[in-house]
Amino acid sequence: MTKKLLIVCETLDNSLITPVQELAAFAASCSISSDETTVMIAGQDVSAAVPKAAAAGIDVMTVEHEALRYYNPPALAGSVIEVCRRIGASRICFSHTMQSCAAAVIVANELDCAIVTGVERAGENNGVIEFARSAYNGKMLEKTMFGSGDGFVCTVQSGSFASDPAAPNATGNIRKFDYDAVSEKFIPLGITAADESAISLNEADVIVAAGRGVGKEENLAVIYETAKLFSNSAVGASRIVCDNGWLPYGRQVGMTGKTVSPRLYMACGISGAQQHLVGMKNSQFIVAINSDPHANIFSTAHVGVADDLNLFLPVFIEKCRGIE
């Protein structure tokens, strides 16, 4: 296979969810030209997504199948493998979503090439491509290099590459790929809507977000009390808090949750994993409370409190009530 790059775009219920322009910027940062690149859009009916993808000025290949309408990593992987074989691509780039990560592993295994997930930086020097990603909750940077002839599969962290404004009216060629070989091993049972009864995270001026450092569900009381200090406030969460069932997934901030930019974001007991940061780093003012003075969240926060949140927040609440 050649060094051609395939950018894989996901849709969910026929809406494009992959930031194509960001992935195009990623390809450019590796000195991979748009001539060597194809954008693939997979879904049940991708007609509405095509213009957005084609605006990156790169050739587009559409793949439509009923099985590609909702989360289905084996179906997505199967279609990517077939497209790679058809166009001769040996470098495959996904965005770093749940589905794409799961599909990327299957693709790398099938094509027998290396995989790097969560790429945040990329560059090229004398034919050597270098990827970097955060390790140990952002405390270290890990680098991986590929030679000029190497194939690879990678997933790119959203928000890491500035969107390349495509030339006005830029449009790549659009081709359709017939795909029918879907495995029946994975059958989605349905989609459950998130609980949106509380003030929406996107409408709140202040978000007080809880992380695993809260310790247990009962300790969320202090997070709610803190949120009540502010008008138009909402409680948010890291993914682990939602995975633990302490808060519903509608409250999750981050890559696979909501992207928010409130006037004030208070991160309580949140380490600052990249997947959380991409969802809140554009908040106007960020306060982090974490008992680990080296926690990565402090590199993004405007104000950091290195303390036990269960000790600090009750005092903070009391002091704030005192000045009301």
Ligand X SMILES: Cc1cc2nc3c(=O)[nH]c(=O)nc-3n(C[C@H](O)[C@H](O)[C@H](O)COP(=O)(O)OP(=O)(O)OC[C@H]3O[C@@H](n4cnc5c(N)ncnc54)[C@H](O)[C@@H]3O)c2cc1C
Interacting residues toward ligand X by CB under 6 A: 98, 101, 137, 211-213, 215, 238-241, 252-257, 269-271, 273, 275-276, 279, 289-292, 295, 308-310
Distance CA 150, CA 131 (A): 13
Q: Which one, 262 or 279, has the nearer CB to ligand X?
A: 279
Q: Which one, 29 or 310, has the nearer CB to ligand X?
A: 310
Q: Which one, 43 or 73, has the nearer CB to ligand X?
A: 73
Strand partners, 95: 156
Q: Which one, 172 or 279, has the nearer CB to ligand X?
A: 279
Residue type at 39 in one-letter notation: V
CB of 287 to ligand X, least distance (A): 12
Closest residue to bound ligand X by CB: 254
Distance CA 232, CA 139 (A): 34
Under 8 Å between Cβ of 145 and 129: yes
CB of 32 to ligand X, least distance (A): 24
CB of 207 to ligand X, least distance (A): 13
Q: Which one, 125 or 216, has the nearer CB to ligand X?
A: 216
Three-class SS state of 24:
helix
Under 8 Å between Cβ of 253 and 269: no
CB of 260 to ligand X, least distance (A): 11
CB of 33 to ligand X, least distance (A): 29
Distance CA 223, CA 141 (A): 32
Strand partners, 122: 131
CB of 110 to ligand X, least distance (A): 21
Contacts 24+ apart (CB under 8 A), 107-111: 107/77, 107/80, 107/81, 107/153, 108/153, 110/77, 110/81, 111/81, 111/84, 111/151, 111/153
Query: In the structure encoding, which two tokens stand for residue 279, read together?
Result: 């969802």
Q: Which one, 84 or 253, has the nearer CB to ligand X?
A: 253
Residue type at 180 in one-letter notation: D
Q: Which one, 43 or 213, has the nearer CB to ligand X?
A: 213
Question: Which one-letter DSSP state was computed for residue 58?
Answer: S
Q: Which one, 39 or 255, has the nearer CB to ligand X?
A: 255
CB of 257 to ligand X, least distance (A): 4
Under 8 Å between Cβ of 56 and 5: no
CB of 289 to ligand X, least distance (A): 6
Q: At 156, phi and psi to the nearest 5?
A: -110, 125
Query: In the structure encoding, which two tokens stand for residue 121, read together?
Result: 């930086």
Residue type at 107 in one-letter notation: V
Distance CA 49, CA 62 (A): 10
CB of 182 to ligand X, least distance (A): 23
Q: Which one, 37 or 226, has the nearer CB to ligand X?
A: 226
Burial of 110 (0-12, 13-18, 19+ CB in 10 A): middle
